[in-house]
Amino acid sequence: MLGADRAPARSWPSFGLAVVAGLAGALAFPLVIPGCGATPSLDLAPREAAIFVSAAILFRLCTATQSLRRRALFGLLAGVVHFGVLLYWLDIAMADYGHMPQWQALPALLLLVASCAAFWAALPLVVDLLRRVPALGRPLAFALAVVFLEWLRGTLASGFPWGLWGYSQARNAPLLQLASLGGVYAVSFVIALVGAWGARALSWRGTREGRRAASRCVGLLVTSHLVGAVLLWAHTDDAGPGLRVALLQGNVAQEVKNQDEKFQDAILERYLQLSREATARGVDLIIWPEAAWPGRVLARSTRLEEFAPSVATLIGVSAYDWVDRRLRATNSAFWIEAGGNVTARYDKQHLVPFGEYVPLGRFLPVDKFVTGMVDFSAGDSARPTGPPGVGVLIC
């Protein structure tokens, strides 16, 4: 008779499964292949479902009747494949745009991939530790372990939350609404638990435990989407006045943007023209992208040169100031009222390591992936910007 918590041992090809888990997880995210156009691959397919396949396989690998060392190695392999596919473009960014020699760029990319994959390698250990909590089954322990390690990777550890499972559901509006209750980690938790119960249902198919796992898997998937649909309806059924917002994208080539002071007039004119077109369509708010304003601007500026928009405009700016005789640069957003007065500013708080600053920069023989004057400094306030109270997110 089967135990209530462990699947029967099978001769699963663990190596191949680890590769499939990593690849399936990566394909759940938008993936642009060089030379194949700007449209992400599988964009017309329900690629979001692939993350559940990845979660199911990882659960099977993490809870297999193998040594902890072997399970960790398979988790590491899956993570290397997953993050290798997701982050391949960083080699292009570093070598082509950051002007790093390839002998530095490729090892740096591999180091980043390995550091992210290490959190997948830790999954079996965290699951085993959580299993010591009374009445905590393996599926729930797996889901909690996924959320804990994602949080750890995105905050305390590398500060690089790229590829969190919940992000894969960006186009799945109902399931995405769970983020309003528990952030992206709530979505990741549901994905992990559905995947775990799905894997258990397949392992125990034909048994009472298998049918129970299948019903839990389907029940959670349906319930989470129904709850999300209700939240979506509640959020959109607001009788208050709305804003017509224009999101501008000038599509400035990266090699031009990296020399924005040289091409300042051309970049500025492109966005000014887009702003004029948006204003003519009767919008209430115009938003420019991150660091869209060419060059660098004094953080205490009350106006941006001769910029006097007809409607409120939120602009991404590379700002600077002098603090205690030291240059302080920030990745900022300026709120500019109609007429041109800068009335509020937000400074990005969570900086990208090696992109906006170099951890242990005094000791590591590498520069930032993105060229710049100095390392950025982090902001210290998440206070909404502008009279409407706009929360700003900067990539």
Asked whether residue 232 falls in the same domain as residue 251, the answer is no
Asked whether residue 282 falls in the same domain as residue 369, the answer is yes
Q: Is residue 2 part of a domain?
A: no
Q: Answer yes or no: are the C-beta atoms of 308 and 279 closer than 8 Å.
A: no
Asked whether residue 74 falls in the same domain as residue 129, the answer is yes
Q: Is residue 1 part of a domain?
A: no
**Element containing residue 234 per DSSP (H, E):** helix 208-236
Per-residue pLDDT of the chain (395 residues; tens, 9 = 90+): 334 445 444 445 888 899 999 999 999 999 888 777 778 888 888 999 999 999 999 999 999 888 999 999 999 999 999 999 999 988 887 787 777 788 888 888 898 899 999 999 999 999 999 999 988 889 999 999 999 999 999 887 556 788 999 999 999 999 999 999 999 999 999 999 999 999 999 988 888 888 999 999 999 999 999 999 999 888 776 656 778 999 999 888 877 777 777 888 889 999 999 999 999 999 999 999 998 998 888 888 888 888 889 999 999 998 888 888 888 889 999 999 999 999 999 999 888 776 677 665 555 555 555 555 467 888 888 888 888 788 888 88
Asked whether residue 112 falls in the same domain as residue 200, the answer is yes
Q: Answer yes or no: are the C-beta atoms of 160 and 153 closer than 8 Å.
A: yes
- Domain of residue 161 covers 14-236
Locate tokens 């180091």: which residue?
111
How far is Cα 263 from Cα 340, in angstroms, rounded to an integer? 23
363 CB-near residues (< 8 Å, 6+ apart): none
Q: What would the two tokens of residue 112 be? A: 């980043």
Locate tokens 């494949």: which residue?
81
Question: Of 116, 217, 348, 368, which is the active-site residue?
Answer: 348
- Which residue among 181, 212, 236 closes a domain? 236
Give the type of residue at 233.
W
- Is 36 a residue of the active site? no
Asked whether residue 181 falls in the same domain as residue 255, the answer is no
Q: Is residue 5 part of a domain?
A: no
Q: In the 3-class helix/strand/coil scheme, how is 18-57 assigned residue by residue? A: HHHHHHHHHHCCCECCCCCCCCCECCCCCHHHHHHHHHHH
Question: Of 255, 269, 277, 395, which is the active-site residue?
Answer: 395
- Is 348 a residue of the active site? yes
Q: What would the two tokens of residue 335 be? A: 């709120």
Asked whether residue 203 falls in the same domain as residue 286, the answer is no
Q: Is residue 165 part of a domain?
A: yes
Asked whether residue 70 falls in the same domain as residue 145, the answer is yes
Q: Is residue 80 part of a domain?
A: yes
Asked whether residue 28 falls in the same domain as residue 138, the answer is yes
- Is 395 a residue of the active site? yes
Asked whether residue 110 falls in the same domain as residue 60, the answer is yes
User: Domain count of the chain?
Assistant: 2
Which CATH number characterizes residue 261's domain?
3.60.110.10
- Which residue among 236, 263, 284 closes a domain? 236
Extract long-range pairs of 3-11: CB within 8 Å, 24+ residues apart: 4/209, 5/137, 5/138, 6/63, 6/65, 6/138, 7/60, 7/63, 7/199, 7/200, 7/203, 7/204, 8/203, 8/204, 9/64, 9/65, 10/203
For the entire predicted model, the pTM comes to 0.82
